[in-house]
Amino acid sequence: MPTEKLHFDITLLQRLKEGDQGAFELLYTKHAKPVYLKIRRMVKVSEEVDELFQELFVRIWERREQIDIQQPFSAYLYRIAENMVYDFYRKAARTEKLRDTLRMTSQESYDQIEQTLFKKEAITLLHEAIATMPPLRRQAFILCKIEEKSYEEAADIMGISTNTVRNHIVKSMHTLKSYFQDQKNSDSAILLFLILSCY
């Protein structure tokens, strides 16, 4: 069953790369809600959330030929969304009025993203660390920690037990810790903290 779903996703992505709008609409329907909620949690300002969300899928369509169909589409989608949010906050920092509005709307959210901007390499390192995980462990981590699905939902998608999903998540966190401990970087502990707090 998981193999069939994976094959279906690869087929959709291949059709998307070829300019198939029907495939684009199916992918939009499947991923729109979770990525919208993620952007909303990061930005908080409704008008800006809607604009970023619309722009995200415009970019997906415009860059469809660059998509790697062998990689999880959700991870690609979230990475672009995160980069757009970071760019948004950079622009906001240059606009006094918008910055004040953001601070009044959600001081905590603004400060958290502003801090993450100075450590954006944490996101890059996270994706590098995920890539080192075995396929099932990587899939479990993406489903539960990035897409924020429950263990039960992940178990159903992967065709395995909830306990097995939980074991994969525990092992994935060990993988992350080991990966950062191996980095020749004095800020690795800070980066790890940022990653674990974000996910």
Domains and CATH numbers, the chain: 1-118 (1.10.1740.10), 120-199 (1.10.10.10)
Choose among 169, 141, 140, 145: nearest CA to 2.
140
93 vs 37, which has greater pLDDT?
Answer: 37
pLDDT of residue 148: 83
Per residue in 65-120, pLDDT (tens digit) is: 988 888 888 888 988 998 888 888 877 766 666 656 666 655 555 556 555 554 56
Distance from C-alpha of 141 to C-alpha of 152, rounded to nearest angstrom = 13
Q: Is residue 2 pLDDT above 60, yes or no?
A: no
DSSP three-state, residue 93: helix
pTM: 0.50
Average pLDDT, stretch 20-30? 90
